[in-house]
Structure 1
Amino acid sequence: MLNNIDNTDLFYNYYAQWIEIYKEGAIRKVTMDKYRLTLAWIQKLAPDLKVGDMTRITYQKLLNDYAEFHERQTTMDFHHQLKGAILDAVDEGLIERDPTRKAIIKGKNPKKKKIKYLNQFELHKLLSNLNLGQEVNWDWFILLVAKTGMRFSEALAITPRDFDFTKQSLSINKTWDYKNGGGYMPTKNQSSVRKIQIDWQLIIQFSTLVKDLPEDEPIFISGKVYNSTINNILARYCKKVDVPIISIHGLRHTHASLLLFAGVSIASVAQRLGHSSMTTTQKTYLHVIQELESKDVDLVMRSLSSLN
């Protein structure tokens, strides 16, 4: 049982202590920040709710109030972050029955989604206009992310030693903490530690580009780095060549989408992206997979119609 907590205490106090004990130091900072944001919403929406008063009705009302400001998926995330703490309170006898059972997840209609990736023709237009000189610049960074599908923080952490030019591979084993002043950090999860194959053209380009750089220092870091800086550079190029404006993370989506359209298996794409499971890949690229399935149906029908 949490220290000095009983069923007459305010629920947000219980939740604050719960995330401090069970989550602090066990999860990444970005995930911890989401739990703290959930706590702030509980304080805002149910400041007087006591632990022992958490019933199915009061819990559903809390979800409904949250859903008025958020889309359904965000409300689902809010529900999942609360559920672990509430089930622990049930186990400890602070709440009589599980109030999260059969909870209904509502939410605002999702906003029209921005285009997150480019097609092959658009990507070719973008990359052919990059300024790839003899010195390291952010244009080289854009090219590397487009051809590897790395996360932004992973690409920032790449050093010359991470390239194996003989085997045409790149080792991804760390990230760069650009949000908190710099320094190496672990990858998002264990599956994110990986080696990926890169094409011979990129091998030749980067073997020349990094040959005189320190082996164990990040290639692209020279001071504080902002995600917005590189996104602005990318946006200018997108406007220049008249393609949809995407972010650096959109290059990761572009990379994965092109692989899927080329017929690469979901398992291979998941491994290359460093996803913890194929389920993550399937959810993220459902739109691409559905489009491919439609093409497969057409192909199957054409094949069957040719049979006599």
Structure 2
Amino acid sequence: MPQFVRKNGFWGVRVNWVEHLNKKTVYRRKYKQGFKTKREASMWANKFLAKANSGELVEQKIPTFPDYFMQWARIYRFTHITEVTKNRYIVTASHLESYFGSKPLNKITRSNYQEFLNEYSKDHAPSSVNKTKGLIKSCLDSAVADGLIRVNFSLGSQATGNKKKKLVVIYPNVEQIENILNLALERRKPYYPSFYIIITAILTGMRLAEICGLTWDRIDVENRTFKIDRAYNHLATDKEHIFKTLKNESSYRTIRVSHNLISVLSELKVNGSNLVFAEKNNPYKVPYSNGVKHPLKKIIKDLDYNLGDFHFHSLRHCHVALLHHDGIDWYSISKRLGHENLTTTLKTYAYLVEEDKIKSDDLIETQLDNFLTIGEKIGETSKKHKIK
């Protein structure tokens, strides 16, 4: 109940209320004076207590930028992304921690954030900067919705990244791809599955996790198909969790493969595991990341190819190059790769699409020249038979 006091011709009022903070009960009180009438004091007290009882007066502790970023990531992102993608969020949080430290989120200005981007851009490639900006913008949109900040201070920020940090991949031509494949075939040994993984990547275009998650029951020998419906979880600590879901819905697919590839892979059955590419002495362990990166680098080095930052995922490009060379249409290639749509495929392999455009332009030019020649011949014939 409010307690009223009249002093020097004015009214004052004292109110008491209870707050519950982190499972603790805290008793609060407030006194306000200067009201001309008791009724004014009573009206103020009633409004104040209404806010207090609804929790509006509880002071909200504003988290630091990196703390809120990780809290947001765990709640809204980690439930449906891969471990590799999770690591990107963790790395971003570490950069925020290094720059902003314990500064509360609501104390950061647009200028502060722009200065952070300027520093970050010095040592990171444009693609990395754009990805980081995207993650932070989504996080700050959530902070606005949570009432922690009034506006998203990342809006209007500018950062291009350091183009010198951009890793350039030089994709091999068809002859070089065939040489990489042949050397992998020569070096394959059943007790060392890494070369079989490289061979499979070139001949199927499958992602590394998709290849490593392949089991014998997913290989249809009679119809020569691979059923791709799960991926290998290289971070699993027990056999019950060695599989994970695929990247997206369109990644679930069945692809045709050659009889020769199935024949080569059948050599791995001597390792005695349901996992096609399992190591000989560990039926649930498959070579991953460095386990395939180093053998691939050795092949490239021994062939004396300068392919820049060529890595395992580049073998997916090699597969596309082989299909494209043999005249396979882009829609079929897109479906085989498990892309969400044709636009993704055309954007990813734009350099090959440009080759198509050049060939088409040359063909169009040739055809138009033929039409012009035909037109000239028709004109000459018309003159000969012209009626005088």
1:54 and 1:270, CA in 2 relative to 1: closer, same or farther beyond 3 A?
farther
Residue 64 (1) aligns with residue 128 (2)? no
1:126 and 1:52, CA in 2 relative to 1: closer, same or farther beyond 3 A?
closer
Residue 239 (1) aligns with residue 301 (2)? yes
Q: CA deviation at 1:268?
A: 2.3
Point out where structure 1 has 5 or more consecutive residues left out of the alignment: none
Relative contact order, CA 8 A, sep 6+: which one is greater? 1
Name the counterpart of 1:10.
Answer: 64
Q: CA deviation at 1:153?
A: 1.7
1:59–1:100 CA contact under 8 A, matched in 2: yes
Which one of 152, 157, 164 corresponds to residue 208 of structure 2?
152
TM normalised by structure 1 equals 0.85
Moved more, 237-246 or 42-51: 237-246
Superposition CA RMSD, Å = 2.9
Name the counterpart of 1:248.
Answer: 312
Name the counterpart of 2:225.
Answer: 169
Name the counterpart of 1:209.
Answer: 267
1:49 and 1:289, CA in 2 relative to 1: closer, same or farther beyond 3 A?
farther
SS of the residue corresponding to residue 157 of structure 2 reads: coil
Q: CA deviation at 1:238?
A: 3.0
Amino acid paired to 2:218: D
1:145 and 1:91, CA in 2 relative to 1: closer, same or farther beyond 3 A?
same
Q: CA deviation at 1:212?
A: 7.1
1:116–1:247 CA contact under 8 A, matched in 2: no
The structure number with the bigger radius of gyration is 2
Which one of 128, 132, 145 corresponds to residue 74 of structure 1?
128
Amino acid paired to 1:270: S
Name the counterpart of 1:277.
Answer: 341
TM normalised by structure 2 equals 0.69
Identity level (%): 27
Aligned pairs for 1:106-185 (under 5 A) are: 106-111=160-165, 113-129=167-183, 130-131=185-186, 135=190, 137-180=193-236, 183-185=242-244
1:234 and 1:93, CA in 2 relative to 1: closer, same or farther beyond 3 A?
closer
CA distance in 2 between partners of 1:102 and 1:90 (Å)? 16
1:131–1:139 CA contact under 8 A, matched in 2: no
Residue 187 (1) aligns with residue 246 (2)? yes
Deviations 1:191-217 (A, max 9, x none): 2211111123324444x5367776x71
Higher strand share: 2
SS of the residue corresponding to residue 166 of structure 1 reads: coil
1:59–1:99 CA contact under 8 A, matched in 2: yes
Name the counterpart of 2:276.
Answer: 219
